[in-house]
Amino acid sequence: MTGPQQDAPAILVVEDEPLIRMEAVDMIEEAGFRTFEAASAAQALKVLEQEAEIAVLFTDVDMPGGMNGLALAAEVRDRFPEMGIIIASGIVDLEGREMPPGCRFFPKPYPTSRITAALREVTGQG
Amino acid sequence: MPQTVAFLGRAEGDCALIRRILTREKIEARELTSLTELAGLVGKELQAVVVTEAALAGPGGEALQEALAAQPAWSDLPFVVLGEPAGESPSAEALARLDGLHSAILLSRPLRPEVFARALRAALKARQRQHEARARMAELQLRDRQLFESEASFQAIANSVDQMIWSTRPDGFHDYYNSRWYEYTGVPEGSTDGEAWNGMFHPEDQERAWGVWRHSLESGDPYEIEYRLRHRTGQYRWVLGRAHPVRDAGGKILRWYGTCTDIHDMKVAEEQRRLMLAEMNHRVKNTLAMVHSIVSQTLRQAESVAEARDSIQSRITMMSQAHDRLINSAWLDARLREVVETALAPHQDEAPRIALEGPDMAIGARQALALTMALHELATNAAKYGALSAPGGRVEIAWQAPEEGPFRLTWREAGGPEVAAPRRRGFGSRMIEQALAGYFGGEVRLEYPKSGLFFEMSAPPEGLTG
């Protein structure tokens, strides 16, 4: 399957580095999902407020400006309890850092098949 | 101490009497003939003097008086004085001199030999005590001077060494700081005694420091902590505090001795290094992400392995050259014209057909990298399908950075074959249309009019650097 279908679930991709964000969007659209993008936690929250249909938050950890990915995940878990959360990060060791319950974590560079499998699972697509 | 006793009598009978008793008591003695002679012997190992009252009245009295007055403080030469025979009263002269003897015992007549002997022995013992006292005093004075010199020596070391030194009682009460401490902190002497030292620490470090110090006091473990100390300029500076206990023979702690070393500059450098390493790590990760992106998207779109290989190589080479340029400027920024030239370098042969127009200006490292890759894509496409693929085609690249308003960069092709938007969006189009705008915080337009491809990026001035 290449490219998102009209009624496929929507994933919000949050990543401050444009090329990496592009890569993530590519990978996720390739797997058949629709995507929305944000370059910071603040932007992400704006998008989430405007678009009601987002099923999964896909976010990096280290982002500039006040709130990082973990804080964003916690906020989202609070406000949108039904939303799936996947955290991807270049930081190898997140031990001791708190992740909200029900989050999945993947390292960078993105292990594509595992991430897409997780997305499918989280959105109930197989 | 040689028990030198001297005696002086006037009447021969007296002298004989004294001589006889001294011999019998086995006391060595020396017979003198005048007070003057006696005066000369005071202070020269004379331990006691036997003298008759009558002899005291003789000539040389003043000399004797002077000699006695000139004795050092510890010395008081004892006299045993034989009184006048019973019935005879002493002369005024003799009485006066008797008073002037300080330490004298007067024996009456008739003289009982055992009384005389006892009196003399007592005098000699008293004299010996004087010698002992003198020795003791000399010893104390020596110790006193040694202590003074030791103290001066300690002060010299403690105050000249370029460290803050402090010391406390076993209960932790700070009662000593060297002069370096007061120079550094600028506080009045004594004002940080007791527990007042804690107030000199940064508020955020105070509790932690108390905890560590308390642990050391209780356990005897050496004290070590990095904290911020208030410098006399008001600035808090990082300092390393360390202390060790000194114990007595039984292992009980007598005192704590400690130092404070200013490590601020080192800490600042360490922080900068840490930041730089984090930044480097970030850049490397981004570079690898870019390569990952290039490879996976190229492979996805390529018609053949050979085509994929060429495309990947070309893109990675371009990225590598962009990196070289950036390393030369220590990753700080890049000159825009150089960036454009680098991207166009593979198309050197077409140089006459490519026009560059725009002011000299700087853009940030990340922006430079992204722009290089985007321009590389535009140039590759132009060479494959666009204005550079056939004779007669031209490319015009122009940029403006007006005082007010956004930065604009355009790529306009003309005179080449008609081109249309690609059916599938590969790495190139994503780079140009999506990623680039992200790096500059701006917008990108890509159009395909009949005249030739038109690309435009506009971005706010603050998006160019940083």
What mean pLDDT is reported for chain B? 90
The residue of B377, B434, B439, B457 whose CB has the most chain A CBs within 10 angstroms, and thus the best one to mutate to test that interface, is B434
The answer as to whether A2 is a domain residue is: no
Nearest to B293 among A23, A30, A90 (CB): A23
- For residue B198, the 8-state DSSP code is G
Nearest to B435 among A18, A62, A90 (CB): A18
Is A18's CB within 8 Å of B370's CB?
Answer: yes
The answer as to whether A89 is a domain residue is: yes
**CB B407 within 8 Å of CB B415:** no
The answer as to whether A3 is a domain residue is: no
Confidence of residue A126 (pLDDT cuts 50, 70, 90): very low
What pLDDT score was predicted for residue B146? Answer: 95
Show the domain range for A37: 10-122
What pLDDT score was predicted for residue A94? Answer: 56
pLDDT at B371 over 80: yes
The answer as to whether A109 is a domain residue is: yes
Q: For B161-262, which CATH superfamily applies?
A: PAS domain (3.30.450.20)
CB-based contact (8 Å) between A65 and chain B?
Answer: no
CB-based contact (8 Å) between A75 and chain B?
Answer: no
At CB < 8 Å, which residues of chain B contact A? Answer: 282, 285-286, 288-290, 292-293, 296-297, 300, 370, 430-431, 434-439
Kindly report the CATH number that applies to the domain delimited by B268-463. 3.30.565.10
Mean of the pLDDT values across residues B92-117? 85
Q: How many domains does chain A have?
A: 1
The residue of A14, A22, A29, A115 whose CB has the most chain B CBs within 10 angstroms, and thus the best one to mutate to test that interface, is A22
Q: How far is CA B409 from CA B353, B420, B436, in A?
A: 18, 21, 12
Is B430's CB within 8 Å of A22's CB?
Answer: yes
CA distance B242 to B166: 10
Confidence of residue B2 (pLDDT cuts 50, 70, 90): low
**CB B229 within 8 Å of CB B177:** no
Instruction: Give pLDDT tens digits for B212-257.
Output: 999 999 999 999 999 999 999 999 999 999 999 999 999 999 999 9
Residues of chain B with CATH 3.30.450.20: 161-262
Residues of chain B with CATH 3.30.565.10: 268-463
CA distance A22 to B431: 8
CA distance B44 to A36: 116
Q: For B4-136, which CATH superfamily applies?
A: Response regulator (3.40.50.2300)
The residue of A15, A16, A19, A30 whose CB has the most chain B CBs within 10 angstroms, and thus the best one to mutate to test that interface, is A19
Is A109's CB within 8 Å of B292's CB?
Answer: yes
pLDDT at B329 over 90: no
pLDDT at A90 over 80: no
Q: Spell out which residues of chain A touch residue B435, defining contact as CB-CB under 8 Å.
A: 18-19, 21-22
HSE toward the beta carbon, residue B314, CA cutoff 13 A:
21
Mean of the pLDDT values across residues A4-13? 84
Residues of chain B with CATH 3.40.50.2300: 4-136
